[in-house]
Structure 1
Amino acid sequence: MIKVAITDDHPIVVDGLTNALSSGADILLSGVYSNAASLLKGIQQQPVDVLLLDLQLPDKNGSELVPILLQQYPSLHILILSGIEASPYIRDMMQRGCKGYLVKSRTNQAMLLEAIREVASGAIYLDASLKEDLLREMLVARRRSEKSRLRITLREKEVLGLILKEYNNPAIAEALCISLRTVETHRYNLMQKLEAKNTASLIRIATELGLHY
């Protein structure tokens, strides 16, 4: 049996979660708390396996509360259930040790029960759209971190600047007074260095990296 506690200060949300959990034969609702203080006191007396936690409580926010909980209860599996769906919040909570993150407006009963069972087993749970957002952010961050290591020559910067202005190869050659073959070489080198498959992806990656030459 998976023992679950709910911490949320909205009675309507709590009622909905309580009803949803009642359909899980392997899930037992062990406690309901409306703030951080009552939660910290309650789970000391009534330990749980999974905590459904709202990020915005009257007395503490999630970033303050999660480290306290995990320091006192290292084996606690925290599943965030929040109205906030901004990637920085999600990434922050996962980095602080939460096992899953659900957005209230996109979570149905089946997803909630699945998430509880997943995190209780030790797995990480994020719905598909959140995973996609985080992976995209991680990719952009990786590319930005590699920006300083790029060996882009002055001429390549000039070519890239004109590509970003949507110049074609002949127009670039004319603007820089170089041969068309030289432009093609610079464009090829840029695509290799930025790992771009075509001009559209070259422009997108350069923009993400802030390469506005």
Structure 2
Amino acid sequence: MIRLLLVDDHTIIRDGIQALLADVPDFQVVGQARNGRELLDTLPDTPADVVLMDLNMPELSGFEAVPLLRQQFPQVRVLILSMLDHEKYVQQVLEAGALGYVLKNASKEEIVHAIRTVAAGKPFLCTEIGLNLLSKLVQGPAAPAAKKPSDLSNRETEVLKLIAEGLTNAEIADKLFTSKRTIETHRQNIIEKTQAKNTAALIKFAMENGLLA
């Protein structure tokens, strides 16, 4: 039996993952935590084999929690489950001690396989990240290509348009019926992809690429 502890600041996501894994016979969800601080407080009384953890969380983020977790509970395997797909974040948490990294858009089958792989002490990268890294490896180093709107997902393009219209993260979240933290994640991904330094640069990118009406 693989004992799992779910860590995410959104209750609906934790409950959703628990429901998703409920019919896997060798999995047992032994607890949940809203952030890294709660995780570290929970583990002494709730032993777990694998921690399935988000990165963007209040109080103590996944980035901050991973090295502390490896230091205090070295026997626990860490599998990151995040929306962040940039290789910089993947490298950062793997170097800090996480054993695997899965995107939240992965299939149930891939998440189950990731958990079993990490529980066995083996590293795991989800298919999407692995293919992206392989593609960059095959292509070799190259001069940065000019960023295009097509580099952004449909939702990132939608968020960028609203940023360019002057809306705050909270206002964008209300307009798109999602959380402020989700918008912050989209904004960070947009900044990484466009290499914009600030909001003014994001607006300039939007204007140059015809994203503003």
Instruction: Indicate whether the TM-score tops 0.5.
Output: yes
- 1:117-141 per-residue CA deviation (whole Å, 9 max, x = no partner) reads 1100111111222112224455678
Q: Distance in 2 between matches of 1:6 and 1:34?
A: 9
Give 4+ residue runs of structure 1 displaced > 3 Å after superposition: 135-144
Pairing 1:1-12 to 2, within 5 Å after superposition: 1-12=1-12
Look up the SS of the partner of 1:134 in the other structure.
Answer: helix
Aligned residue number for residue 109 of structure 2: 110
Aligned residue number for residue 133 of structure 1: 132
Q: Distance in 1 between matches of 2:13 and 2:137?
A: 32
Which amino acid counterpart does residue 37 of structure 1 have in structure 2? Answer: R
1:59 to partner: Cα distance: 0.7
Give the CA RMSD over aligned residues.
1.9
Pairing 1:27-66 to 2, within 5 Å after superposition: 27-66=27-66
Q: Distance in 2 between matches of 1:70 and 1:143?
A: 36
Q: Is the 8 A contact 1:78 1:98 kept in 2?
A: yes
Q: Between the two proteins, what is the percent identity of the paired residues? A: 33
Distance 1:19 1:82, change over 3 A: same
- Structure number, greater radius of gyration: 1
Look up the SS of the partner of 1:45 in the other structure.
Answer: coil
How many corresponding residue pairs? 143
Q: Is the 8 A contact 2:8 2:33 kept in 1?
A: yes
Q: Distance in 1 between matches of 2:70 and 2:140?
A: 28
User: Any stretches of 5+ residues in structure 1 without a counterpart?
Assistant: 145-213
Q: Distance in 2 between matches of 1:44 and 1:138?
A: 41
Q: Distance in 2 between matches of 1:134 and 1:95?
A: 16
TM-score, L = length of structure 1: 0.62
Which amino acid counterpart does residue 107 of structure 1 have in structure 2? Answer: A
1:84 to partner: Cα distance: 0.8
Q: Distance in 2 between matches of 1:112 and 1:95?
A: 21
